[in-house]
Amino acid sequence: MKAVINNSLHRYIDIGIPNAAPVIFIHGFPFSHRMWSFPGGQTEALSSTHRVVAYDVRGHGESEVGTGHYSIEFFVDDLIGLMDHLQIRTAVLCGLSMGGYIALRAAERHPERLSGLVLCDTKSEADTNEARVKRAASIRNVQINGMKAYAAEYVKGVFAPESFERRADAVKMIQSIVERTAPLSIFGTLMALGARTDTTAALQHIACPTLILVGEKDLLTPPAAAQAMKDRIPNARLHVVPQAAHMSNLENPEVFNGHLKEFLASLK
């Protein structure tokens, strides 16, 4: 399904039980809602118990690229706009990496819209200067070498080495999604990620139930970053997902889904 949200066309899925508690999945950069919607994945796992929504963030997947002038603030506006379009007053937000940044900022700006929060392989801190320089280098890399080379290199940084054999289907899917992402979206989103606000100070004010999941081998947003969020969010739960790096939901979906289901069941 597609809808115009804030003058931009967005692609989303809305499945499961219409009147059940809603869960909204927010993907990472530079992926699409498909990272949640694969055989044995999260949307499938919850469709018999919840209303499940997953969407393509502006510029990603099948959502409109537009001008490429993005910010996390715009992404939050789109999320809230989609909730309004779907007449969802409150929902559990589940975001991985960039999706976590969006969910954290939504929790800060619109706490009344969250019934729960799941933060996966993400962190609350803003980029360091070193990280911003790396994002600029990524833009130059795409300009010089193109998306295919960028995608091939990108997956090496987000999957654990053993996942290339054990979860080869997942690696192939993500690499394909990255390859198909418009360079303009890559540029705009990298700039938005580098300019995002630091939400650390707001963590202590998160009042909704919160689950934090992180791959044991995640080098981008390591378990230490997850622990730092747990220490600040009241009554947050933390689980480290074994045999997984930054793409914990794809690398070990059985363990990931188990923790997710247990958390959601506790909200009833």
- The pLDDT value given to residue 59: 98
- The pLDDT value given to residue 268: 75
Question: What's the domain range around 23?
Answer: 2-266
User: If residue 144 lies in a helix (H) or strand (E), which one and from where to where?
Assistant: helix 129-158
* pTM of the full structure: 0.98
- Give me the half-sphere count of Cα atoms (radius 13 Å) on the Cβ side of residue 74: 21
Orientation of helix 183-194 relative to helix 72-85, angle to 10° = 110
Q: Which of 22, 208, 53 is nearest to 119 (CA)?
A: 208
- In the chain, the number of structural domains is 1
pLDDT along the chain (268 residues), means of 10: 97 98 98 97 98 98 97 98 98 98 98 98 98 97 98 98 97 98 98 98 98 98 98 98 98 98 95
- Supply the CATH number for residue 173's domain: 3.40.50.1820
